[in-house]
Chain A
């Protein structure tokens, strides 16, 4: 093996923190092990020069602080996907004291390739063979000690999910990091790998005699289940049945969960805040209660709903069913320039567009990725769901409201497909990448891992959106409270609504609702708070007012427009951050606006014609 060009960076100095990087293929449980290693104290961090943020944590072992970074899952250190480029750039630009390679023990026969690539880098390394319990059930046999001797770095079988073997692996990692006073950067990683290609013969030699794989035709429980779930006829109905269960959970568990939160925030306001703020001037008191606090309270009221979404999605993903959904839907998605993963991400987008936009990183082709980011915002997110439930409760009785809500989901999908089919004809969105999607075995999701993810997502969600909610509701408060002494359409908000009326009247949308759409750009759920402020009424009273003044056609037209128009500011910021293109971001604003207007116009005018 040629001598590797490792750039040493002396980290023995007290001011230089040691660093461990976790590397591994997707579906190996790398992030589960990362959480074990760092006791789930990770935070998202931006690294200059990289195009994505990484999970990292700082741990203290025997008085020494060590930074642990979870690199994205990659198939090939020399690969071309964006995540593979991120890993390459990280190792080229940031010094690492120790690489921890997480491998799926059940697939050691092919993942040995990544271990050999790491070996060719010459960095200090420890390998963990995760999912050792799964490997045992498959009948995979391996000698970890002998494998470590052949690779030149220690190898430990573990189960990150159940904790088996983790203590021993952790002790070894701590021992290794303590011994590693040097950190290493690898300039020109690609050249190092090219100079030491992992040949098939090398792979076979390193596992010969110490790794034994089961029969190629062995039948597993996963195969039995897939016989039903991926059945050519039964598969798709079963998929939509599972989606129906998700909708049912949202409708019967998620939505009612807002009520106790509203009760708590109402109690806080009347019992604590109002007495506290009584000495302040009326105007300031009003701003704090009905601008700032109202925004935060509205945000909190749907935290349980969003949490439920992430639990459901975490279970679908952790069980392995989500990749089956991608397989089932690829026949359709491939025809509109996306792939099955685009469908998976759209499903994630129904929880929140923001993580779904982030999830497009798995799409290696920039063109397809941009296309996916263009259609994901049409996914009816939980924030918009709150708005639609509110409006539909006013204009339709319960059972019809559910049907209308479902039709909005259908509209969400139809619009996404048509937009994808249309834009995939442009060169900027046409680059195709090979479609090879791993289908992991069915697993019981680790509830601990699901809740860790939900907790992390909820913290991110509240942190990210709190400022927008407060700004949004404060802005609404300002627009509806000034000029001082005015009410209704005489306020700045009303004036703004009237300015847009020539455009919005043909859709049956009145000036009050127009203002909520403008402010809904900040965050979709602000529309509810905006309605209560503009009308100067409670939620219940606004519902009565809408029931009295709004027809079904007007209410549904508003829902269609709200569904399709500009992505919220957070989603838009994420789109900009991920695409690094202002021109593309502008398209992500203008295209939905035009589409929303056209769809709402067609619906409202169509219904109006039919009824006359």
Chain B
């Protein structure tokens, strides 16, 4: 499943980041933001009308990410 499939408030672990049409640029940027395999990630809220997701990465980093980027982040539930 991807970040898009998570419910608001739900916590998951990053599984992998696929190479999108952004190429390595997205992977590098996400890594710099702390989105690396095994890292906990939580969807705090989703903006209305298809707007960006508000995510918490680890415990202290929060970002806004567009859905077109979030679809490339594969996650898995902890159980």
Task: Write the residues of chain A forming the contact surface with B, with a CB cutoff of 8 angstroms.
Answer: 25, 75-76, 78-80, 106-107, 109-110, 113-114, 135, 138, 140, 200, 203, 213-218, 222-223, 226, 230, 232-233, 323, 326-328, 330-331, 334, 339-340, 364, 432-441
Contacts and interface: CB of A to CB of B under 8 A. Distances in A.
Given A438-B63, A439-B54, 18 more contacts: A25-B32, A79-B28, A213-B60, A216-B40, A217-B42, A230-B45, A232-B45, A327-B64, A330-B47, A330-B52, A331-B47, A331-B48, A334-B51, A434-B25, A436-B69, A438-B61, A439-B62, A439-B64
Given A107-B34, A223-B44, A226-B44, A79 B29 contact: yes
A405 B52 CA distance: 32
A334 B52 CA distance: 10
A113 B35 CA distance: 12
A435 B65 contact: yes
Nearest to A76: B32
Contact of A107 (B21, B30, B61): B61
Nearest to A134: B60
Contacts of A76: 28-29, 31-32
Given A327-B52, A331-B49, A200 B37 contact: yes
A205 to B, nearest CB: 14
Interface residues of B, number: 41
Interface string B36-79: 11101010111111111010111111111110110000000000
B62 to A, nearest CB: 4
B68 A113 contact: no
A119 B26 CA distance: 23
Given A327-B52, A331-B50, A436 B29 contact: yes
Nearest to A236: B48
The interface centre, meaning the residue of B29, B58, B63 with most chain A CB atoms within 10 A of its CB, is B29
Contact of B33 (A215, A340, A364, A436): A436
Contacts of A330: 47, 51-52, 64, 66
Interface of B: 11, 20-22, 25-26, 28-34, 36-38, 40, 42, 44-52, 54, 56-66, 68-69
B32 A331 contact: no
Given A226-B44, A433-B22, A439-B62, A340 B28 contact: no
A364 B52 CA distance: 19
Contacts of B66: 330, 334, 339, 434-435
A441 B20 CA distance: 29
B7 to A, nearest CB: 14
Contacts of B11: 216-217
B68 to A, nearest CB: 7
A109 B62 CA distance: 13
Contacts of B61: 107, 110, 438
Contact of B54 (A110, A213, A327): A327
B63 A79 contact: no
27 contacts: A75-B28, A76-B29, A78-B28, A79-B32, A107-B34, A107-B61, A109-B60, A110-B33, A110-B61, A135-B60, A200-B37, A200-B38, A213-B58, A215-B59, A217-B42, A226-B54, A233-B48, A323-B64, A328-B51, A330-B66, A331-B48, A331-B49, A340-B52, A364-B25, A436-B63, A436-B65, A437-B64
Contacts of B42: 216-217
B1 to A, nearest CB: 18
